[in-house]
Amino acid sequence: MIANHSQSTSNEQLQTALHAYPKLLSVARRITGCMSLAEDVVQEVLLQLISKPLKADIAAPAPYVMRMVRNLATDHMRRLQYERGLFLEEEVGGNTSAYGSPEEHLHEAQAYKAFRCTVEAMPARTRKFYEEHYFDDVPQKTIAKEAGVSCALVCGLLREAHSRCLAAISLEAAHDCDAGGTHRRNRPTRVREIRA
């Protein structure tokens, strides 16, 4: 007799939960932000009701089941955030290469190639000034004196050359962002001649 009463109580509670299924799903989706996760949460609550029915002294089972869904969805999201934090700490914790990812290496290599092509496209005198100043740390005054030109000319050439190098690197970075990080093969490098 007790088993039949328990079975009928379980069936009534399950019917109440099934009747409120769209509302339960909506609450779970609002908390999880994902329909499939919300369905999993609601199904887990329904399985709990089947395996262990609510006590008979619960006057309003529908709000109680709603609370079960809210609690389970919240617990599920906390667990997901905790697990994501674990994986993030593991990634940062030194298991990554000191040289970066292959994608980062590829982007850096492409940016360097764009920079190198820009420098090679410079007129000989501008390239010489640029390399002496930026690679050998020769002051502009010394470059101007050795070349027999004004400091203003050297400064102007260096500024224009450096701007073009930065633009080439920025253009390469913009192409990488536009391509979504995908590898581009045989893309010609566009380099404009720098006027001396």
Q: What is the pLDDT of residue 181?
A: 45
- Least confident range from 7-21, 38-52, 109-123, 132-146: namely 7-21
Whether 128 is covered by a domain: the verdict is yes
25 and 73 share one domain: yes
Whether 63 is covered by a domain: the verdict is yes
Q: What is the CATH number of the domain that holds 57?
A: 1.10.1740
23 and 80 share one domain: yes
Amino acid at 93: G
Which residues, including other chains, have CB under 8 Å from residue 41's CB and lie 6 or more apart? 28, 32, 69, 72, 73, 76
Max Cα-Cα span within the chain: 112
Name the band, by pLDDT with cuts 50, 70 and 90, for residue 107: confident
pLDDT top residue among 36 and 99: 36
Average pLDDT rounded to a whole number, residues 155-166: 90
Name the band, by pLDDT with cuts 50, 70 and 90, for residue 72: very high
Whether 195 is covered by a domain: the verdict is no
71 and 133 share one domain: no
Please give the tally of structural domains in the chain: 2
Amino acid at 76: H
Write out the residue range of the structural domain in which residue 63 sits. Answer: 7-84
Whether 90 is covered by a domain: the verdict is no
Amino acid at 60: A
Q: What is the pLDDT of residue 143?
A: 92
Per-residue pLDDT for 67 more than 70? yes
d(CA 122, CA 196): 8
Which residues, including other chains, have CB under 8 Å from residue 85's CB and lie 6 or more apart? none
Name the band, by pLDDT with cuts 50, 70 and 90, for residue 96: low
- H-state helical runs in the chain: 2-19, 21-32, 35-51, 61-90, 102-120, 124-130, 140-147, 151-178
